[in-house]
Structure formats: C-alpha cells, structure tokens
Amino acid sequence: MTAIKHALQRDIFTPNDERLLSIVNVCKAGKKKKNCFLCATVTTERPVQVKVVKVKKSDKGDFYKRQIAWALRDLAVVDAKDAIKENPEFDLHFEKIYKWVASSTAEKNAFISCIWKLNQRYLRKKIDFVNVSSQLLEELPKVTEESVPSGENQSVTGGDEEVVDEYQELNAREEQDIEIMMEGCEYAISNAEAFAEKLSRELQVLDGANIQSIMASEKQVNILMKLLDEALKEVDQIELKLSSYEEMLQSVKEQMDQISESNHLIHLSNTNNVKLLSEIEFLVNHMDLAKGHIKALQEGDLASSRGIEACTNAADALLQCMNVALRPGHDMLLAVKQQQQRFSDLRELFARRLASHLNNVFVQQGHDQSSTLAQHSVELTLPNHHPFHRDLLRYAKLMEWLKSTDYGKYEGLTKNYMDYLSRLYEREIKDFFEVAKIKMTGTTKESKKFGLHGSSGKLTGSTSSLNKLSVQSSGNRRSQSSSLLDMGNMSASDLDVADRTKFDKIFEQVLSELEPLCLAEQDFISKFFKLQQHQSIPGTMVWLIVYFACYNFIYLVCFLNRKDMIRQMMIKIFRCIEPELNNLIALGDKIDSFNSLYMLVKMSHHVWTAQNVDPASFLSTTLGNVLVTVKRNFDKCISNQIRQMEEVKISKKSKVGILPFVAEFEEFAGLAESIFKNAERRGDLDKAYTKLIRGVFVNVEKVANESQKTPRDVVMMENFHHIFATLSRLKISCLEAEKKDAKQKYTDHLQSYVIYSLGQPLEKLNHFFDGVEARVAQGIREEEVSYQLAFNKQELRKVIKEYPGKEVKKGLDNLYKKVDKHLCEEENLLQVVWHSMQDEFIRQYKHFEGLIARCYPGSGVTMEFTIQDILDYCSSIAQSH
C-alpha cells in the first residue's frame, strides 16, 4: 500500500500541488468487483482545499488516472454501518449516497479517522459520523499552522500529521544535511553497519550533551514553569469574563428572538389583512349588482326599446354575478349566501315578467295579423311577418339569457310560440291556397266541379279520377285526341296552352310565396330562440353511444341537435303546408293530367334550390316529400297513357288514320320538351319517353293487325311516318334509335303497300309474267319459254291486248281513288304514295319488257303503252283529283 501511495503522490497529486493524506482500496457495493482508490488530499497552497478523490487504474496500461473528486465540504454524512462489529462497508453522502466496500476494515477505519480529523481542523465539525466507533473519533492534539517551519513545504498539518501520515518526504534542508553527513563518511554506502554505529555513537554524545544542557538550565525551566502558571491563571480569568459575556449575550439573544417572533406575527397579520381586503374587494366587485339594474329587473319597461336595452344589460349583469367563480370558502359566508338568494329571487321575478310579456306579444301578434288577412284574400300573396319578427328580435338576447338561466320557462315560451303561430299560419296558408285553387279553376262555381267547397279547399268526390277512353275512329282530330281524364266532361283538348301556362304561373307563384315565408320564419326561429350555436340542452345528452354486443355492431343513438330542433319547430308551425300542397297538386292533376309535368319541373327546381341552402331544413324536407307525390302523379300520367293505348278501340266502318295515342304522344312530347328545357329532372322524362314510345310502337302494330277497313300497311305507314316526323322535329336525343326504327317501318310498309296495290290494275298481265318467271325458275331456258303452250306468243299477245292504254289509265284512276280512300287527310301522304306507285309501275313495266325481250326474242311483241304514257296517265290523274 505504501508503494501505491507513493506512486499516486508522485504521478497524480504532486503535479496538482496536492498532498495525499490517506488512501483506501474500495469497490462499489453490490456490483461487479471493480477496484479503485479513495484518497483524502489537501492542497499545498492557501486557502487550503480538502478533497476526496476517486483514482482508478487505467484500462490501457499500468498507470493510474484521476476519475472524480468531491470537495470535503460537500460531504454530509459518513456511515460506517456498524460501530461494534468489523464491517468493511461504509457510505459517503455527497449530492447522492455512494456505497463502498473496503479491502479491509483497518483501511476503512484509517480512512474514516483521517476524514474526521480533516473535518475537525478545516470544516469545524460539519460532517455527521454515523455508526463510527468513538475510539476513532478521539481528537488528536491540535497544532497550529504557525508551528510548521516557514522554510519547509508544509502548509497543511503540524504535529498531528505524523499520526495521520505514515510516509513523509524529506525537505531540502534534510536532504542537504544527509548528503553532508554521507560525504564525511565515504564508507557509508559500502559499509552501512559501520556508518550506523558511528551515527549511534554521535547520537549518544548528543543525548548526553542535551541532558547536561537541560540540567544546567533547570533554573530557567523553573522560571518558565512559573510564567506558565501565571499564564494559566490569566486564562482562567479570561474564561470567567467570557462566560459572563456569554450569559449577557444569551439574554440579548432571547430578546432578539422575541423581537423577531413579534415582527413575524406583525408581518403575518399584515399579510392576512391584505388577503382579506383582496377577498372582500373580489366579492364586492363581482357580486354587487347596481341599483339601476335591480330596478330594471323588477320594474323595467319591456315594451319600449330603451326599456328592453336596460333590462338586457341588467340581465347580463345579474348572470355575471350569479356565474362568478367563487374561491374556496366563499360559499360558506352568510353574506354570500344571502346575496346568492337575492340574485335567485331577482332571476325568478324577471324570468316570470319576461315570459308573461312575450306570451302576450305572441297572442297580440295573432290578433293583429288576422286583421290583415282580408286584404290578401283576393291576391295570391301571403302576409309579411317581417315587422313582427323585427319587433321580437329585440328580445333575442333576453331569450338567450332565459335559456341559460331558466330552461323551463324558455321551453314553455317555445311551445306557446309554436301553438299561437301554427294557428295563425294555418289560417293564412289555407286562405292562400283557397285563392290559388279559385284562380286555377277560374271561378268559385267552376271550382265546385272539381270538388272544392268551403274555406278549407279540400278535394272531395271519388278517388278514381280516370275513366276508360272510348275513341271513335272518325276523321275528327279533336275527338281522336280526347285521351285525358274525364273530369265533368272536360278533356285535355279543351285546355289550350294558355290554360296550362296559367296553371304553371299560379303553381310557381304558390311555391315562390311559400319559400321565403318558410326561410324567413326559420331564420327568425334560429336567431330568436338562439339555436344558431351548437348549444346543448341542460340536463340532456347531445350524443349517446350505445355499444351493442350482438353481431359486433355499434349503434349510435343521436338526440336532437340544433338542426333537428329547428326542423321540429318548423314542422309544428307549418304543419298544414304539406297537406295543402298535396291537395293543390291533386286538383291540378284532376284538371289536366299534363299539369304533372309543370309541377314536376317547378317542384324539382325548388327542392334543388332548398337542398343547396340546407339539405336537412324543413323546407327541403317538405318540398322533397311533396316532390315524391308529384313524381308519383307524373308516373301515373304515363301509366294512364300507356293503358289508354292498350284499351283503344277502332271503328270497323271508318278508316283508321292517325291513331289517337300517336297524336297524344306528339302533344305530350311537344309539351314536355317545352317544359323540361334545362330542367333538373330530365332523366325522369327520358324514362317516360322510353316507356311511351315502346307502348306506341306495340299498340300501333296491334291496331294495324285488327284493322278491317284500312289495310295494315296503311295504318303502319301513316302512324310511323307521323312518329318519325314528330321525333325529327323535336330532336329528342334519347329516342334517336326509335326515330330510325320508325323511319324504317314507315319505308317498309310504304313499299309493301305500293307493291300490293299495283298488282290489281294489270292483274292478268301480272299473273302471266309470274308464270313465265316460274318456268324459268324450274329450269326452262328463257328462249324456250315461248314453246310452252300456256306461254306462247299467241297467249302473250292475247293478254297484252286486254290492257290497251285506255284500260291502263282507267285502272290507274281506280287505284288512285282506292288509295285516296285508304289514306287520311291529316298525314297528307297521298302524293308520296302515288309517286312511289308511279315509280314502281315503271319498274314493273321495264321488267315486263325485259322478260319479253329475253323469252320472246324476234317476236315483235310489245306493250300497247309506253313509259311516257304511264307518266302522262299518272300526272293527269293526280291533277284531276
């Protein structure tokens, strides 16, 4: 250990002007055994600094390095663990507790003893030694620093240093004396024993000289001892005086402690007074309601604008006083409880006054508004509620106050408002719809035909509004198109475009009046009842999530939110709008089923507009429900037209012409295209077109097959030509395929009718050449057909002679008359058919001449009329008719 101590002093502490006083080999308790050294050191320069240094052997070599150092003044406790038994463990309490295990108990005790001595000398007993044997803490004789020779390099310890330190370096003077001594004894190096004996003899000589000197100076020693006794007496006197001074200072200390305690109490009293004043000021500032506010709440005029403003300010001030956040303990004060009770009484009083006044305003509004209904009874307008809303909005802030302070009265006011206003709006809206129905039907008398009576404007009569249509197959265009509802002998043909336009304007006016009325009322409700913010109802959960374990589903149950509350209020206030609209729609549909087209377009537009503003609003929902009814009527109109097509009956005695449902489709399509131009519900119309045109095609063919008076081809040709012309004129994009199909059917049946009709004027000639073609088809060569008995040249000349030009012209004239009887005047296809027949007759003529040339070559047989003759005959016949 001495060698290690010497090495540490030389390598680590001497370069730092420090002296190593004690060392202990330790390792950390409870961990891997990594040894290190704890060193107690002092600096060689003043002021002296005492440290505990941890030194550890380097991992890369055999030298030691300084790892960490603690100032001894930072050491609070030294815990030796056990004062009786030997225990190598000990703790040092610096900023945290360091637990060490020494290599031996002796080293630990020596190190703790050194620390205790350093504490006694430099720190004046600031360190606590716990579980340390009292033998280790015996105080060594104190030696002042002045006792150390100034020429020596000793600045820390005096006589006690020999006890603390086992090893001490030689100073310069000692080294010099030893060198002189050794130079005088050259053999000291080679013969240590002789040198030691010489030194021993010289020491004995010196000891003898010292004894003689002491004995010679006995007198001086006695004098010195006497002086020491006198000095001790003086010290005792000084100690007595110091004790008296200490007693005096002790009384002074007690007095000073009393003064200090008194000052502390005074300071505490002042602090409490300041806090009490602060609490009183807080309560006064926040819970004191001005007399003017109290008077306004008790007697304020709720009818005038100035009085409403004063009451509003007073109510806000009262609410602030009631909602003030009291500090802990305030609610236990009697004055605070009394003030809170006074505020509650004021709140109850003002809430009753406000609720009573607003109820009176609601009632008065109903009476005042009723007096204005008369002036709107003849006009298709609804009364304006803006003045009433403007007057009530002055109370909006008071309603918000009432909602937050007394929700029961707020809810009661809401219910009363809905009751009064629902009755008022019901009278206004019913009168409004009565005027609309009268304007639609023309007069009150006429309105009775449609089931209108009394002020309710309800529809009466049979629920069945459709009768089977019996169509007379006559040439009368008006009777053919009577395919609508049989309403008091009134048909769609009796209602011209002006009547439908009038209905459209009235219906649009109705919707245009209802829309701003509902929006204005909804906006007023939102502002007046303070539903524009997302506020929860006191005592009511806004959202409740219920987890349902079955099938691992999660159900979310939503209570009424802001929009739901507004919508529910609007439903109660305007509960009559939807049934009145449905009655009006039923009347319009009863007057003319085509009115459903106008209503579908108008209603769709208003629903689209309302949904863009607020999809969940009352107006959007109500108009959406009514739109469903309108769409149902529209689909019913389409279904009725298809059913009427299927039930149409034709006369067996007159020609068919253009079928009624074909004309009605033209009327429907023309009307629909004008109504649905740029409409939102174009898709519904396209679907209706598809259903109708499919029914028209099927039933045209059905009627053509059943026709007895008019040939099937004529029925098909005329009606499909009319359909093609209609679709070409209207340019309906979704019916392009049907337009092409109609054209093809028209062309095919025109050709078929022409071919069939031309077989009659030259009947024998047609039969003859049909036989010729049949023989050629059987394999007989064309030039050999003339050798057949039934088809020789003589038979050919005989047949040709039967059809001279005069007979041909006569046959064509009869054909023209027959075609004229088959075709109807409305479609004007006679000239088209006659021109087609002319072309087909010329084609047949050329075909006959070709057969004569091929089958009867060189016979000289020719027809008795030429192509030019045919053209002249056809032209003269057409002009004559």
Domain assignment present for 15:
yes
- Residues 736, 774: one domain? no
Q: Total domain count for the chain?
A: 4
- Which has more confidence, 547 or 87? 87
Quote the pLDDT of residue 760.
Answer: 56
Average pLDDT of 600-629? 87
- Strand ranges, E, within 277-340: none
Residue-wise pLDDT tens digits, 259-307: 988 998 999 999 999 988 988 888 888 788 888 989 999 998 999 999 9
- Residues 435, 301: one domain? yes
Question: By residue range, what is the domain housing residue 433?
Answer: 291-441
Separation between Cα atoms, residue 620 and residue 578, nearest integer Å: 12
Tell me which range, 182-191, 214-223, 360-369, 706-715, is most confidently predicted by mean pLDDT. Answer: 706-715
Joined together, the tokens standing for residue 678 give: 């740029």
Residues above pLDDT 70, as percent of the chain = 83
- Residues 305, 418: one domain? yes
Residue-wise pLDDT tens digits, 223-257: 888 888 899 899 989 989 898 888 888 888 888 88
Quote the pLDDT of residue 491.
Answer: 42
Q: How many helices (H) and strands (E) does the chain have?
A: 29, 10
Separation between Cα atoms, residue 244 and residue 433, nearest integer Å: 118
Domain assignment present for 299:
yes
Choose one of 740, 759, 778: the last residue of a domain: 759
Q: Give the pLDDT band of residue 367 (cuts 50, 70, 90).
A: low
- Which has more confidence, 197 or 150? 197
Contacts made by residues 344-348, CB under 8 angstroms, sequence distance 24+: 346/289, 346/294, 346/297, 346/298, 346/318, 347/318, 347/322, 347/405, 347/406, 348/406
Domain assignment present for 636:
no
Is pTM beyond 0.75? Reply is: no
Reduced to 3 states (helix: H, G, I; strand: E, B; else coil), residue 808 is: helix
Residue ranges of alpha helices (H) inside 475-557 are 477-480, 497-528
Q: Give the pLDDT band of residue 42 (cuts 50, 70, 90).
A: very high
Contact 305, 394 (CB under 8 A): yes
Residue whose structure tokens are 């053209």? 871
Average pLDDT of 583-612? 88
- Residues 721, 804: one domain? no
Quote the pLDDT of residue 378.
Answer: 62
Domain assignment present for 240:
no
Residue whose structure tokens are 């929009």? 563
Q: Give the pLDDT band of residue 163 (cuts 50, 70, 90).
A: very low
Choose one of 410, 441, 472: the last residue of a domain: 441
- Which has more confidence, 114 or 803? 114
Average pLDDT of 655-667? 86
Residue 467 reports pLDDT greater than 60: no
Contact 873, 809 (CB under 8 A): yes
Average pLDDT of 23-40? 86
Residue 647 CA, chain-centre distance (Å), reads 56
- Count other Cβ atoms within 10 Å, centred on residue 750: 22
Question: DSSP assignment, residue 522?
Answer: H
Residue-wise pLDDT tens digits, 198-208: 888 888 888 88
- Residues 695, 777: one domain? no
Mean pLDDT, the chain, integer: 79
Residue ranges of alpha helices (H) inside 53-191 are 105-118, 161-164, 172-184
CATH number of the domain enclosing 101 = 2.30.29.90
Residues above pLDDT 90, as percent of the chain = 22
Question: DSSP assignment, residue 20?
Answer: E
Quote the pLDDT of residue 759.
Answer: 63
- Which has more confidence, 630 or 480? 630
Q: Which residues contact 336 (CB under 8 A, 6 or more apart)?
A: 283, 287, 326, 330
Question: DSSP assignment, residue 487?
Answer: B
Mark 279-310 as b/e (b = at least 16 C-beta within 10 Å): eeeebeeebebeeebbebbeebebeeeeebeb
Domain assignment present for 259:
no
Residue 186 reports pLDDT greater than 70: no
Quote the pLDDT of residue 856.
Answer: 85
- Residues 735, 813: one domain? no
Quote the pLDDT of residue 270.
Answer: 93
Quote the pLDDT of residue 443.
Answer: 54
Q: Which of 817, 823, 837, 825 is nearest to 881 (CA)?
A: 817
- Which has more confidence, 190 or 862? 862
Separation between Cα atoms, residue 731 and residue 29, nearest integer Å: 103
Choose one of 108, 136, 164: the last residue of a domain: 136
- Amino acid present at 362: F
Domain assignment present for 630:
no
Average pLDDT of 600-614? 86
Q: Which of 826, 492, 503 is nearest to 664 (CA)?
A: 492
Strands 128-130 and 77-79, by their bridges, are: parallel
Quote the pLDDT of residue 331.
Answer: 78
- Residues 755, 794: one domain? no
Domain assignment present for 114:
yes
Residue-wise pLDDT tens digits, 793-846: 888 888 888 888 787 888 778 788 877 778 887 777 778 888 888 888 888 888
Average pLDDT of 25-50? 86
Residue ranges of alpha helices (H) inside 442-496 are 444-449, 477-480
Residue ranges of alpha helices (H) inside 122-217 are 161-164, 172-184, 192-216
Quote the pLDDT of residue 766.
Answer: 82
Q: Alpha-carbon Rg of the chain, whole angstroms?
A: 65
First vs last Cα of the chain: how many Å apart?
A: 154
- Residues 4, 33: one domain? yes
- Residues 18, 132: one domain? yes
- Residues 12, 26: one domain? yes
Residue 392 reports pLDDT greater than 60: yes
Q: Per-residue DSSP letters for 585-654?
A: HHHHHHH-TTHHHHHHHHHHHHHHHHHHH-TTSHHHHHHHHHHHHHHHHHHHHHHHHHHHHHH----SSS
Which helix (H) or strand (E) element contains residue 318?
helix 305-322
Q: Per-residue DSSP letters for 373-388?
A: HHHHTTTT-PPP-HHH
Contact 22, 42 (CB under 8 A): no
Quote the pLDDT of residue 23.
Answer: 94
- Residues 66, 97: one domain? yes
Q: Give the pLDDT band of residue 572 (cuts 50, 70, 90).
A: very high
Q: Give the pLDDT band of residue 552 (cuts 50, 70, 90).
A: very low
Quote the pLDDT of residue 168.
Answer: 58
Q: Which of 421, 426, 428 is nearest to 375 (CA)?
A: 428
Residue-wise pLDDT tens digits, 394-444: 999 999 999 988 999 999 999 999 999 999 999 999 999 999 999 888 754
- Residues 331, 428: one domain? yes
Q: Which residues contact 71 (CB under 8 A, 6 or more apart)?
A: 49, 50, 51
Domain assignment present for 123:
yes
Q: Which residues contact 599 (CB under 8 A, 6 or more apart)?
A: 507, 585, 588, 589, 630, 633, 634
- Which has more confidence, 783 or 632? 632
Contact 434, 457 (CB under 8 A): yes
